[in-house]
Amino acid sequence: MTENITKKIKSIKFSMLSPNSVKRMSVAKIVTPELYDREGYPVDGGLMDIRMGVIDPGLKCKTCNQRLKECPGHFGYMDLARPVLHIKYLDTILRYLRSTCLECGKILVEEEKIKKHLKNVRDAEQERRYKVKKNLINAFANSIKLVKKCPHCKAKQKKITIEKPSTILEDGKRLTPIQIKARLEKIADMDIISLGNNPESAKPEWMVLDILAVPPVTIRPSITLQSGERSEDDLTHKLSDIVRINQRLFENINAGAPEIIIEDLWDLLQYHVTTFFDNAVAQVPVARHRSGQPLKTLHERIKTKEGRFRHNLAGKRVNFSARTVISADPRIRFNEVGVPKVIAMELTIPEKVTEWNIEWLKGLIKQGPKNYPGANYVIRPDSRKKSITDETQEALLEELQPGYVVERHIVDGDISIFNRQPSLHRMSIMCHKIIILPGKSFRLNPAVCTPYGADFDGDEMNLHIPQTEEARSEAEILMSVENHIISPKNGLNIIGSMEDAISGLYLLTKNMKFSKKDATELLFSAGIVNDEMKDFKNEVSGKEIFSIVIPNDFTFIGTSKNGDDVEIKKGQLIEGVIDKALVGEDNGQLIREIYAKYDEQTGIEFLAKIFKLGIETLLKSGFTIGISDSDVPEKVNKKNKDLIEKAKLKADNLITDYEKGKLEILPGNSMEETLELKITEILNKVRNDISEQVNNSVDENNPTIIMANSGAKGNLLNVAMMSSCVGQQAIKGKRVKGNYSGRALSLFKKGDPSPEAHGFIEKGYKQGLNPYEYFFGAMTGRDALMDVALRTPKSGYLYRRLSNALQDIRVEYDSTVRDAEKSIIQFKYGEDGIDIAKSDGGKINVKKIIKQIKKK
């Protein structure tokens, strides 16, 4: 299967189709509006003429003698009885008419001025200042508008106006397309250039059509409905309208019909040609189906997200891909993905037959497509594809020899690319190794949820199988999970321990003690076997167990979440507790250190080991919370109540001050605003005070507190919210406002500024909320939902604009940052040339280096 690229597209040129080139590329002249004859065979000279390509599986193209799938389609043409204006070039036609003399066709400017203008334009072009060029030309064209007399032939000029959609008037008298065409033909090439256009690619007279290119049948295939009826494409409908009117116009002209009838038909022809190009032109009635649904003509096919550009050219469909629901499996590695067998039997990898693997591949062919592992297709050296079935199996086994290619099922260890939408950053698509598992969902390690933004509430993900050796090696080297632990956004690790793993490690390294047997068992169940384990004494501390995983020559000093020092000396955890600040996502100093010091493989293995160790610790020791775990001592409860009462009293005092008008106004605010601000401040403070109270009083071994302290889940504020006080509910940063004539809910007094009337929830979740408190809570919840719904499209558009503007910018070999036109944006990326994904938080860590030097 040697696929050599023999030709490469170097450039694409754009130009208008001239009448001559339309004729030249055409294979058929369309003369009749009929599509099929009585037998259902395409009519010669009709719109489905088989010289323009075939859409019936049985027929052969008369032009290229190929069948449905091979024939690319060929253009036809149509002679228009009277010329019509091309709606998309209407502005340009107007510009030409306005800037040239009606007598001699020259531009209404003196020779010298044109020359000077041309020089300016050329200079701008050379300096690649396209905007300047555009402005120059626009200014030039606008300056001509006012000229009343031709400087060349001294003819008096008339005013050209346009009556939308496509009637051009001269001093109020209509110019027919024939007259316009005659005018445009007079314009010299030099004058076309001075208006910024290229006479070779777009002659002005081409903008008035008297010959219409008919697109190939293949781009407007008809659909056969279940009833056997044929439903034609929108474009075919439109084209048959044009042919019909054109035919009538011809007949009327030949019959010498009165001018008024001819003009009516001519306008109708103009309308149909206009809507053929664009069915959404302002002031042109939209052409519709009989059902009233607007026709989709050429412009509609190209524009928008569903148009040709964004749907078919910038994005393409692929084969060798799969999609299903994801679920979690903490037992597989980070860089593995569990693939269901049913999927594995559909997705294949082309394996080239050599004398070394022929026996293996023969075995796979014997298995066939219905057994796993097997093979689905054999490709012969002449690139003929043969599917493996019970009938062909024997013959294929017989003829198989080196040079053949077998498309075999994917097996454990094959390379795949795994992706979840929205693909917001490069970690949304990474390379995983395949593990075939029973079941029907993709399995992934919960630690790689963060980069994908995945959870398991029904999320689906996509899997792709690279088909060539180059693609596989690129995927493995550049896209593998271990290469994407550090985010290029900020140089922090995006993958780390989370939730239970952190709780487990926290408990383990805090003060756990094990017997030698238990310690060994724990490590073993986490899949860690190590020589160091021999040196265990009878009593083993959690810190020692953790140290087993750390490489022996590793030295590290860091700070834990609550600011304590954590020291690792020569692979031994000497001091401190492991928590989120050391091994968590985003701020895992320890992970980044290991990652920087050793290779990626060591880094990810370390991460995987501690992850498992944490979970196993919890499994062994047990970890659970109950309703009583959010209890607070009675004393504290009373204190909290006092705090709330005090705050309410303070707020009341402020309100009385306000009512008396004695409140001291904060600068830049009105009296009411001041009151709002002050009350909000007091109420926000109260919850923080309570959370502090709760923190001081509770037992450190309380599971809720362990989770909050280790950073596994939640924080102390959440604990306070459960046990004591939910606190002030804010909408858009302010207290809940009274939108029902001065009150938030009808059970409050109008204009009541008290805390409880504006969303202060003084109870904790555990004690239960009042109906109105519950309602306030629901309000903030809805507000948050709304915010997300409104934000997503906005940020999505921002992202699309950014990625479109920046996509072609890269670092060059000379370390400059340049765009596709090779103009320099930065001389050195970020002024120091550091790759954020390779750095530690975007910096060279000088302090760390000095610390290391000092240590030695």
Q: What are the C-alpha distances in Å from 821 to residues 56, 817, 825?
A: 46, 11, 11
Q: Provide, rounded to whole angstroms, the least separation between the CB of residue 316 and other proteins.
A: 8
Q: Provide, rounded to whole angstroms, the least separation between the CB of residue 822 and other proteins.
A: 8
Q: Provide, rounded to whole angstroms, the least separation between the CB of residue 512 and other proteins.
A: 33
- Dist. CA 316–CA 309, nearest whole Å: 10
Closer Cβ to other proteins, 308 or 385, answer by number: 308
Q: What are the C-alpha distances in Å from 655 to residues 214, 276, 683, 752?
A: 79, 70, 14, 9
Q: Interacting stretch for other proteins, rule CB under 8 A, among 376-384, 620-628, 646-654, 830-838?
A: 830-838
User: Which amino acid does the sequence have at 537?
Assistant: K
| Per-residue mark of binding to other proteins, 172-201 (x: CB under 8 A) | ------------------------xxx-xx
- Dist. CA 594–CA 597, nearest whole Å: 5
Nearest residue to 338 via CA among 500, 458, 503, 448 = 448
Q: Provide, rounded to whole angstroms, the least separation between the CB of residue 819 and other proteins.
A: 8
Q: Provide, rounded to whole angstroms, the least separation between the CB of residue 756 and other proteins.
A: 23
- Dist. CA 692–CA 688, nearest whole Å: 6
Give, as ranges, the residues between 398 and 437 that touch other proteins (CB under 8 A).
424-426
What angle separates helix 634-660 from helix 671-697, to the nearest 10 degrees?
170
Q: Provide, rounded to whole angstroms, the least separation between the CB of residue 537 and other proteins.
A: 38
Q: Provide, rounded to whole angstroms, the least separation between the CB of residue 114 and other proteins.
A: 18
User: Which amino acid does the sequence have at 401?
Assistant: Q
Give, as ranges, the residues between 52 and 91 that touch other proteins (CB under 8 A).
88-89
The values of phi and psi at residue 529, to 5°, are -125, 130
Strand partners, 824: 818
Q: Provide, rounded to whole angstroms, the least separation between the CB of residue 13 and other proteins.
A: 5
Q: Are 643 and 764 in contact (CB under 8 A)?
A: no
CB atoms within 10 A of CB 846: 8
Kindly state whether residue 804 participates in binding other proteins, applying the rule CB under 8 A: yes
Kindly state whether residue 12 participates in binding other proteins, applying the rule CB under 8 A: yes
Q: Interacting stretch for other proteins, rule CB under 8 A, among 107-115, 234-242, 243-251, 836-844?
A: 836-844
Q: Are 764 and 722 in contact (CB under 8 A)?
A: yes
Burial classification of residue 232, based on how many CB atoms lie within 10 Å of its CB (0-12 exposed, 13-18 middle, 19 or more buried): middle
CA distance from start to end of the chain = 58
Binding residues with other proteins: total (CB under 8 A): 100
Kindly state whether residue 165 participates in binding other proteins, applying the rule CB under 8 A: no
Give, as ranges, the residues between 759 and 788 that touch other proteins (CB under 8 A).
787
Kindly state whether residue 9 participates in binding other proteins, applying the rule CB under 8 A: yes
- Dist. CA 241–CA 652, nearest whole Å: 78
Nearest residue to 107 via CA among 177, 204, 17 = 204
Kindly state whether residue 849 participates in binding other proteins, applying the rule CB under 8 A: yes
Closer Cβ to other proteins, 15 or 224, answer by number: 15
Kindly state whether residue 747 participates in binding other proteins, applying the rule CB under 8 A: no
Instruction: Find the radius of gyration of the CA atoms of the chain.
Output: 38
Kindly state whether residue 733 participates in binding other proteins, applying the rule CB under 8 A: yes
Q: Provide, rounded to whole angstroms, the least separation between the CB of residue 844 and other proteins.
A: 5
Cis peptide before 422 (omega within 30 of 0): yes
Helices marked H in 537-670:
542-549, 580-583, 589-597, 600-621, 634-660
Q: Provide, rounded to whole angstroms, the least separation between the CB of residue 802 and other proteins.
A: 4
Q: Provide, rounded to whole angstroms, the least separation between the CB of residue 146 and other proteins.
A: 24
Helix (H, G, I), strand (E, B) or coil at 252: helix
Give, as ranges, the residues between 576 and 635 that touch other proteins (CB under 8 A).
586
- Dist. CA 596–CA 554, nearest whole Å: 11
Residues in the chain: 856
Q: Provide, rounded to whole angstroms, the least separation between the CB of residue 825 and other proteins.
A: 5
Closer Cβ to other proteins, 640 or 674, answer by number: 674
Kindly state whether residue 466 participates in binding other proteins, applying the rule CB under 8 A: no
Q: Interacting stretch for other proteins, rule CB under 8 A, among 209-217, 483-491, 534-542, 763-771?
A: 483-491
Give the sign of the dihedral formed by CA 626, CA 630, CA 635, CA 641. Answer: negative
| Per-residue mark of binding to other proteins, 280-309 (x: CB under 8 A) | -------------------x--xx---x-x
Q: Out of 230, 385, 489, 750, which residue is the one contacting other proteins (CB under 8 A)?
A: 489
Give, as ranges, the residues between 703 and 732 that touch other proteins (CB under 8 A).
732
Give, as ranges, the residues between 129 and 148 that touch other proteins (CB under 8 A).
130-131
Cis peptide before 204 (omega within 30 of 0): no
Kindly state whether residue 846 participates in binding other proteins, applying the rule CB under 8 A: yes
Kindly state whether residue 455 participates in binding other proteins, applying the rule CB under 8 A: no
